[in-house]
Each structure stands twice: as C-alpha cells, then as structure tokens.
Amino acid sequence: MHIDIVRPSGNEVDFIKQSKRLGNKGISFVYDSISKDKISSLINLEKEEKFHIILSKESFGFDNGLRIFDISLELDKSRNLIEKSTNVIFFGFENSKNKDFNKQRNAGANHILFKIMKERGNIFGICTKYLISKERISRLRQNLYLCNKYDVDCCIFSYANDPLEMRNEDELFSFLITITKNPKLSKRAISFISTLI
C-alpha cells in the first residue's frame, strides 16, 4: 500500500479525495509549523474521512510523526547532517548543481553516505517532483543502485502542492522498475511509509 507525502495549503480534503481515487489508504501531510488546533482538526478529519493521516515535518526536532529533509538545500553539509540524524527521510540528492564526472554521474551521494545512512537508520527518499530531466533520473538510478547495495530503506513520494500532482501506485512501480530493474526494491520503496502506520 502506497502512502504519499504532500504539502497541503488548506486543501487537505482535496488531497484525501484524490488519494482515495488513487486507491491509497493514507496520506502524509508536511507542515512548516503546526498548531494544536490544526492537529485536533486533522484528528477529526481522519475520523470523519476514515483515512489515515500522518504528520510530517521538514525538521530534526519533530518527535510526533515523520521527519523529512530536502538535502539539496544543504548538499555541502550532507555527511554531517546524516551522521547526526536517525530515522529521517533524506531526499533531493539528485539536485546537485555540480557537473557529472567523466565516467559516472555526480549523484549527490556516494557509498560512504549510504553506509552512514544504513548505520543511522536514515531513509533515502525519491521525490517525483524533482525528477524533471534525464540527467536527474540517471543520477537517481545511480543512487538507487547504492541504496540497494547497502540495503538502505527507501521511499517514493510526490511532495505535491496540488492533488493533481499525485501519482498512483502502479505508475510509481512502473517508473521504479524501469530505472532499477529491481522489483523487490521497487515494491519496498512504494510500501515503506505504510509500514509506519
């Protein structure tokens, strides 16, 4: 079962409706900050819609829910951030502004980072919103190879601002199987967030 991570802006009900249309059983909402009133309204919405809602935050100090971090904002400090974190979904490695090497892609991550991610229990995130070019998809392919080699958990999500940017499970699986040729890794990436419910 796939659960998407999205960034709502007052359109939570629309996201839930679209998620149900796509056959999902839950959704994860990312907020920059969240009040107690908002949390209680989301709890009521969850009961009303009979739909799982997971709270996420782009932060390290957030204890209740999922923690995610866009590493493309801090690629030069990625090793330090990963070493100091546990159970954080790091994504955006493919957004590196550095040019590719002669014989391989500069994919924003390397075998050392993946070893540290495994040791610290961090997760490799695949954000479909960032996969806008052939170059980034090639970088993702290289990172997923290392992800599989070092047995790092991974997950795929849209990080959508609009419900129509979301994708269904079959489409995501087809995409992953095309670039990885690895059904086991692809299934794991799609269902990882649902294991947290």
CATH number at residue 61: 3.20.20.140
pLDDT digits 0-9 by tens, 56-107: 877 544 455 688 998 887 877 888 889 988 889 999 998 877 665 555 566 7
Residue 20: what pLDDT?
A: 94
- Summarize pLDDT for 128-163 with one digit per residue, the tens: 999 988 888 988 999 999 999 999 999 999 999 999
DSSP-derived secondary structure for 80-115: HHHHT-SS-EEE-GGG--SPPPSSS---S--HHHHH
Question: Where in the sequence is the domain holding 121, given as residue range(s)?
Answer: 4-196
**Per-residue confidence (pLDDT) for residue 98, from 0 to 100:** 64
> Which residue, 106, 140, 125, 121, is CA-closest to 68?
125
β-sheet with 4-6: strand ranges across: 4-6, 26-31, 52-57, 66-70, 89-91, 123-127, 154-157
> Which tokens go with 156?
């795929």
Asked if pLDDT for residue 10 goes beyond 70, the answer is yes
For residue 149 the two structure tokens come to: 């080699």
What is the per-residue burial (b if ≥16 Cβ within 10 Å, else e) of 163-176?
Answer: beebbebeebbebb
Segment 114-141 mean pLDDT: 92
Q: What is the pLDDT of residue 60?
A: 47
How many domains are there within the chain? 1
> What mean pLDDT is predicted for residues 34-62?
83
For 164-173, what is the mean pLDDT? 94
Residue 170: predicted pLDDT: 94
Q: Answer yes or no: is pLDDT of 49 > 70.
A: yes
Backbone angles phi, psi at 119, to 5 degrees: -60, -40
